[in-house]
Structure 1
Amino acid sequence: MSRRAFIRWMLGLIVMISAATTALVKLLQRSVESQNVVKAKSDPVAALPKQEPPESKATPEDDKSPLFSFMLLSDLHISVYDPNTIKHMKEALEDIKKFESPIDAIVLTGDLTDYGGDDGYAELQKLLSAYKLPPLYANMGNHDYYDIWIDKKGAFNKDTVPNGKTDWQARERFQKFFKMDKTYQTAVIKGFPLIVMSQEAYVQEKPEVGEGAWYSDEQMDWFKEQLAKYNGKPMFVMTHQPLPPIGSDGGSHQLIRAKQFRELLKFYKNVFVFCGHRHQDFQNGTEHYVKETFHYFHNSSVGRVLGRNFQNDATKDKSQGLYVQVFKDHVLVRGREFSNRSWLKEADWNIKLTY
């Protein structure tokens, strides 16, 4: 990375942290207040019904057909207080339903709900259960821990945090919904590994992490084992928060153990890392692909696409994600606009595999 690019990264990161923090708090306050700060009491969330995998097809023999394809959806922010998030998720699912190319899996990379409470998961369950989908995999974002900010009256209340709730309850709710023993997992589909990492604590347990992604020693050891286990194949690693600049560990709004994360990856070829959290419109000129020792992609958002100044007045009708196709000698990563079922020429990458 050049010095100019590094400085640009740093300045953008500073703006992102300050703007995102303010915007998230205002968003929570506005959405809760718009409902007179009263939440309807919801039933405990049931697990997501089992999704049937697509019909098995023979591995293509020609080099022009993909060996494996998946859709990447980030930052859904499903909320009963923001109907636009529900509308956008329906647009994405409708597009997937009618998609012209195979989709072997769907990966949801964090901020699945706006507040992490039962009502958000119930709405997400309703949306996903209405469609016959390929296998679903997910990790937790910072918003999936946000139930601790909501008091017993349903108001966003930072003065009474954790409002009688715990980070553990947020993890349990997520794991129950996706039928997971831990918040992280590896799925192998058609021989290709999806390594899905997930933050394991929030400010109730670790106030110092802020909005950052904290991974335990256990998860980092597991990550090291997964990389070694699937060495020789293209590997796809999912996080929620982005990495800080090279050479530093992250803080709030970033992957915290970044130096160790990068150190583990540098020994392997053909690793693709995807993150969410930034919500940046694929069409606003923001850098969405960075080449390090691995291929690093920043996804946009399904629920709330944002402009460069972290506003969404001009982007409120947009809903975006990534479609990934793995071929014998290359990987295609393409940006998708779900609202009108179109490809985005600004987000179109053809990455040659090296062996």
Structure 2
Amino acid sequence: MSRRSFLRWLLVAAASLIGLSAGFAKWFSKHAFVEQETAQAATSIPGTPSPELPSGDISTVQTAALGEPLLSYFVFSDLHISSLDSATSIKLKQALDDLKSFDSKVEAIFMTGDLTDTGTAQDFKVLRTILDSYKLPPYHANMGNHDYYSVWLNKNNAWDKDTFPNGKSDALSREQFNKFFGYKKPYNEVNLNGYTFLLLSQETYIQEKPEVGEGAWYSDEQLKWLTERLAASYDPARPIFVMIHQPLPAIGDDGGTHQLIRAKEFRRILKPYKNVFVLCGHRHMDFQNGTPHYVKETFHYFHNSSVGRPLNRNFQAETKTKSQGYYVQVYADKIVFRGREFSDRSFLQEAEWTIDLQPAKA
């Protein structure tokens, strides 16, 4: 079975795995976005504030006047490195070549899920080979749904739903990810130059919990950890960065497949804090296709594009060469986000924001 055929099958299988009706499965196969692994609300985010520039909150980037940043880093999402497809490896190398010759400081790289296409040992071996061939700043990551996909591949590394889980398990996927990065758990805290980064991870997939589909399930333990680390790390004068993979559903809702499932609890935990920045991946939306990439809630919410497969509004890889990510610069009173096109080493005017931080005593 080809990858494309398998993913089309998965549309219906996801419904049947959680006991849904045949009618819903038919609707699901027509409307869900598994083929390109995008969020259900990929082109709009109903129920959220307007992504247009809030008054007094965002201005056009003018980095020349800002001085030296206190911290600068890149955010890569949806690399989709595969032992079966060299195209995504080429794009990651493009991105890392760009960093190697980058004029400005790069102090870290964060990778927000779907590091691999199928989560196999072969995929991670390719990723390791690429990363080890560069002299890089510290890099950190969380898990996406694709990093659990080894359960769908048989001993010949071919897509095979009939032999699911093919001798694999979600536990093995977590173990493999943790071993690759030297983590004890798939969710972690990173501190850089006095700034806190909380990387949350999807903790299970359908081998253990069929009802999650392609959504991100966070356990009570992980959400308690998030609550405790926010309280312990919070300094009203300093921003906190929270990295997730799947996007949030509309405000007031819990998510389903392709979304953060326990979204109401996630938002409740973040609500008391100002200057929190949430960055997600999964949607793959090209920075230049007109879809919202920034939404202002009680926190600042940014959607990334994809290093491996940026998509147009119809979830197609319209331009095969594109490869994108965020360059983030932290200043004492503002954060600058700049969308980067790695294929031609340019910044994208459509993806430039400066967020003024709320003062500590406001």
Query: Which TM bucket (shorter chain)?
Result: 0.7 to 0.9
* Alignment match, 1:22: 35
- Of 316, 341, 345, the residue aligned with 1:341 is 345
CA shift, 1:159, in A, is 2.3
TM-score by length of 1: 0.83
CA shift, 1:17, in A, is 9.1
Moved over 3 A (4+): 14-19
* Alignment match, 2:190: 187
- Residue 100, structure 1, aligned to residue 103, structure 2: yes
* Alignment match, 1:309: 314
- Of 285, 289, 299, the residue aligned with 1:294 is 299
User: Counterpart of 1:18 in structure 2: which amino acid?
Assistant: H
User: Counterpart of 2:33 in structure 1: which amino acid?
Assistant: A
Distance in 1 between residues matched to 2:207 and 2:166, nearest whole Å: 10
* Alignment match, 1:331: 335
Distance in 2 between residues matched to 1:301 and 1:292, nearest whole Å: 23
Distance in 2 between residues matched to 1:104 and 1:298, nearest whole Å: 21
Distance in 1 between residues matched to 2:199 and 2:167, nearest whole Å: 30
Deviation track 1:140-170 (CA, whole Å, cap 9, x = no partner) reads 0000000000012322112221111100000
Distance 1:78 1:17, change over 3 A: farther
TM-score by length of 2: 0.82
Deviation track 1:41-82 (CA, whole Å, cap 9, x = no partner) reads xxxxxxxxxxxxxxxxxxxxx962100111000000001221
1:184-223 aligned within 5 A: 184-223=187-226
CA shift, 1:278, in A, is 0.3
* Alignment match, 2:120: 117
CA shift, 1:226, in A, is 1.2
- Matched-pair contact (CA < 8 Å) for 1:19–1:310: no
Distance 1:231 1:119, change over 3 A: same
Deviation track 1:179-216 (CA, whole Å, cap 9, x = no partner) reads 00000111110000111000100000000000000011
User: Counterpart of 1:237 in structure 2: which amino acid?
Assistant: V
Distance in 2 between residues matched to 1:209 and 1:164, nearest whole Å: 20
- Matched-pair contact (CA < 8 Å) for 1:16–1:310: no
Distance in 1 between residues matched to 2:345 and 2:72, nearest whole Å: 17
Deviation track 1:252-284 (CA, whole Å, cap 9, x = no partner) reads 000011000001111001000000000000000
CA shift, 1:221, in A, is 0.4
* Alignment match, 1:276: 281
User: Counterpart of 1:259 in structure 2: which amino acid?
Assistant: K
- Matched-pair contact (CA < 8 Å) for 1:17–1:252: no
Distance in 2 between residues matched to 1:253 and 1:81, nearest whole Å: 24
Q: Secondary structure at the match of 2:33?
A: helix
Q: Secondary structure at the match of 1:323?
A: strand
Distance in 2 between residues matched to 1:76 and 1:88, nearest whole Å: 8
CA shift, 1:21, in A, is 1.3
Q: Secondary structure at the match of 1:267?
A: coil
Distance in 1 between residues matched to 2:193 and 2:264, nearest whole Å: 31
Which has the bigger relative contact order, CA under 8 A and spacing at least 6?
2
- Of 153, 157, 163, the residue aligned with 2:156 is 153
* Alignment match, 2:91: 88
- Of 229, 250, 260, the residue aligned with 1:255 is 260
CA shift, 1:16, in A, is 11
CA shift, 1:23, in A, is 4.2
Q: Secondary structure at the match of 2:231?
A: helix
* Alignment match, 2:67: 64
Count of aligned pairs: 305
Distance 1:115 1:100, change over 3 A: same
Distance in 2 between residues matched to 1:162 and 1:114, nearest whole Å: 17
Identity %: 58
Distance in 1 between residues matched to 2:254 and 2:136, nearest whole Å: 37
Distance 1:17 1:237, change over 3 A: farther
Q: Secondary structure at the match of 1:287?
A: coil
- Residue 174, structure 1, aligned to residue 177, structure 2: yes
Distance in 1 between residues matched to 2:262 and 2:91, nearest whole Å: 33
CA shift, 1:22, in A, is 3.4
Q: Secondary structure at the match of 1:86?
A: helix
Q: Unaligned stretches of 5+ in structure 2?
A: 1-26, 38-64
Distance in 2 between residues matched to 1:303 and 1:16, nearest whole Å: 24
CA shift, 1:338, in A, is 0.2
* Alignment match, 1:76: 79
User: Counterpart of 2:250 in structure 1: which amino acid?
Assistant: P
Q: Unaligned stretches of 5+ in structure 1?
A: 1-13, 25-61
Distance in 1 between residues matched to 2:208 and 2:312, nearest whole Å: 33
CA shift, 1:117, in A, is 0.5
Distance in 1 between residues matched to 2:304 and 2:157, nearest whole Å: 31
Distance in 2 between residues matched to 1:117 and 1:194, nearest whole Å: 27
Distance 1:15 1:300, change over 3 A: farther
Distance in 1 between residues matched to 2:161 and 2:246, nearest whole Å: 22
Distance in 1 between residues matched to 2:170 and 2:124, nearest whole Å: 16
- Matched-pair contact (CA < 8 Å) for 1:17–1:253: no
Distance in 1 between residues matched to 2:298 and 2:130, nearest whole Å: 38
Please tell me the root mean square deviation across aligned C-alpha atoms, in Å: 1.8
- Of 224, 227, 232, the residue aligned with 1:224 is 227
